[in-house]
Chains A and B, each alone.
Chain A
Amino acid sequence: MKLQSSLRPARQAGSVLVVTLLIAMIIGITLAAFMDLSSAQHRAVVRSGVWNSCIPIAESGLEEALTHVFLNSTNLESQGWTKTTTGLTMSNSIALTGTVYYKSRTLNGGRFLAAIQGGATPTLTVQGLLPKPLTTNDMLTRTIEVRTVGASLFARGLVARGTINWNGGILSDSFDSQNSAFSTGGRYDPAKRNDNGSIGSVEGNVDVGSSGTIYGSAGTGPTGSISTGPHAAVGSASYIAGGGTGIQTGHSQNDLNVAFPDASVPFTSGYTIPGGGNVVNVSSVSTNSTASNSLVYPTSPPGPVTTNYPISTTFPTGTTYPVTTNVVATTTKKGKTTTTTYTTNFTYTQFIWTATSYTTNYSTNYYEHILDTGDYYVSGIANANVLVRGNARLWVDGSVSEAGGKAFTISNTGTLQMWVRDSVSFSGNAAANTTGDALRMRINGLPTCTSISFSGNAEFTGTIYAPAADLRFNGGGADRADFMGAAIVGSAQLNGHFEFHYDENLGRAGPSSTFVIASWVEL
């Protein structure tokens, strides 16, 4: 069969073309939508990446600002930082007022602008800026405002990188040299102890021994362990006073994390070698004091005494106890008042001392090394008396070995920071800073300082920062003033009868390890 073909009417001509074009148009629109959606998604993803990258850029500026305020706190207008006293306007209309130190640095196609508003606890405002996708000058900006606080280097009593091992009747507690409720005359007083004498090992274990006592807490890193013997106790003062043994709940932690940067001598030139000599010590003693009333009344008076209480404001000089004096008493008997004078003995039990004159005493001591304010260098210290009268920095390019009652004496106007290359040893009643507070003396062990030891009733008041050193305490003697201050060491072995007293003032006023973030806000 064959159908007859015929020409299409004019109105049907090109219909195939139209349909084809319609289909092509639909496909084209779809493809365009695909491409537009993909492009928008791509732009969104890239922009998100840039947005997120602004934070690391800002954080790099924050790191630089934190380092600057710690290392150059007394000279913030240094190391490329600019000072303005009229405030600073940053991107996104963020305005800082007053004195501002700022610095900008280009980093990996972007830049940061860091600003420091100084003070004891600086506030840092940092912006991270990166160009938006497909632009070069149109910047995305994120702003961080950080308030800082100084992190105490000696926030707890004894911290070791490695193991802490106690063997014997070791005790760790705390006192506060600036609070009379927890100290006497700024010194440790066992009757006023506090329970913040915490210890910790970052990379090792803590063994408190069979009868060690920690008035505070013990901490380790995540893989460390804390072991206590049958009579050992770790906890609060009330817990231990109540006979508690073992570790009180809440007095241990396993997330201790402390950095141990190497100590280094802050000067390598410009120092002097300290000389020695005799030093005359002057002390004053008050005499000729006065005393006041007696609290003991004449025995068996004939009736109630209503007047003339035996009050004296002047101590009868030249007499010894008991003091004989007269008492005038008025008695009433059957309505008749009689005044009687009694002669009796009094025991003066309450005195008010008033210095009226002074006797000055002199003594002369010889010191092998006398340090005033400045930088000093010695090749070693062996059995030498050292007097520190100013703010001294001492580089010991060798060992420190004190024995036989030799001492570091820090005057009440002096401080000593000492960097020691080799070992440190105090033995045989040797002492350091026995009358000062712990802030006045610090021993820094250089990376080659691997041994610090105390033995034979030695006494130390101060701080030790020696992260490479093994600290050993052997025999603190009968007295309880063994170690007062704080220590950061490589490891610690405490033997015999030794007491470690952490001065809580170090946590407040002691050296800072760095400034840390107290609060973080993204503006």
Chain B
Amino acid sequence: MTLVEVLVATAIGTIILAAAGSLMVYNARSLAALSNYADLDQYSRRAVDKLSQDIRQATNVVSFTATELRLGTSRGRSNIVYTYGPTAKTLTRREGSNTEILLRECDALTFTVFGRNNVSNTWDQFVVTNAAGAKLIKLNWTCSRTILGAAVNTESVQTAKIVLRKQD
């Protein structure tokens, strides 16, 4: 085996090892990203499901802001309060003395409240500012996950519009 052959073999080996290493690092990051997406999706699904159920069952909207929603309930249950904490980046649900965190690492969240009437010739409803006129709640949030400190995964929920089912 000549020196040239050794050098060529070494170079080829290095390239192959570098490619394999890069592939493994890429795979690891991709796997982490995929896991993050699965995690984001799972939490968002659960949060939407819980919020949807509570809003559908609500008797009325007691009060609201862009980051807090207080729902009246029927059949002797306590009011349910959803609160977004921009500092903690969490969405919490409180019913009586029970509190649970539905979303973590939530970068932004907004509740928008609409009335029962449609804007003419559209499928949109009129935005209301008084809780008594609330009939439909729109949810809008963005959550993210990080890999090695960098936020590389985001998920935005923008299409959840839920109607209070109780009729006046």
Contact = CB atoms under 8 A, between A and B. Distances in A.
B2 interface: yes
B56 interface: yes
B49 interface: yes
A3 B126 CA distance: 86
Contacts of B34: 34, 37-38, 41
Contacts of B24: 26-27, 30
Contacts of A33: 31
B49 A3 contact: no
A151 B53 contact: no
Contacts of B120: 223
B10 interface: no
B78 interface: no
Contacts of A51: 49
A2 interface: yes
B46 to A, nearest CB: 9
Given A30-B24, A33-B31, A516-B167, A255 B117 contact: yes
Interface in B55-86: 56-57, 59, 74-75
Contacts of A40: 38
Contacts, number: 87
A37 B6 CA distance: 42
Contacts of B27: 27, 30-31, 34
A522 B57 contact: yes
Contact of A3 (B3, B53, B166): B3
Interface string A494-523: 000000000000000000000011111110
Given A34-B31, A257-B116, A517 B133 contact: no
A2 B4 CA distance: 9
B41 A44 contact: yes
B37 to A, nearest CB: 7
B31 A37 contact: yes
Contact of A519 (B3, B35, B59): B59
A45 B41 contact: yes
A23 B3 CA distance: 27
A5 interface: yes
A1 interface: yes
B146 interface: no
B45 interface: yes
A255 B116 contact: yes
Interface in A33-65: 33-34, 37-38, 40-41, 44-45, 48, 51-52
Nearest to A30: B27
Nearest to A518: B166
Nearest to B34: A37
Interface residues of A, number: 37
A222 interface: yes
B72 to A, nearest CB: 11
A37 B31 CA distance: 9
A128 to B, nearest CB: 13
B27 to A, nearest CB: 4
A521 B75 contact: yes
A253 B41 CA distance: 41
B115 A517 contact: no
Interface string A222-261: 1100000000000000000000000000000111010000
A1 B57 CA distance: 87
A522 B38 contact: no
Interface string B18-52: 00100110011011001101100110010001000
Nearest to B24: A26
A27 B133 contact: no
A349 B6 CA distance: 137
Interface in A175-204: none
A520 B116 contact: no
Q: In this complex, which of B41, B75, B165 has the most chain A Cβ atoms within 10 angstroms of its Cβ? A: B165
22 contacts: A2-B2, A2-B3, A5-B1, A23-B20, A26-B24, A27-B24, A30-B27, A30-B28, A34-B27, A37-B31, A37-B34, A37-B38, A40-B38, A44-B41, A221-B117, A222-B119, A253-B133, A255-B115, A257-B117, A517-B167, A521-B74, A521-B75
Interface of B: 1-3, 6, 20, 23-24, 27-28, 30-31, 34-35, 37-38, 41-42, 45, 49, 53, 56-57, 59, 74-75, 115-117, 119-120, 126, 128, 133, 135, 165-168
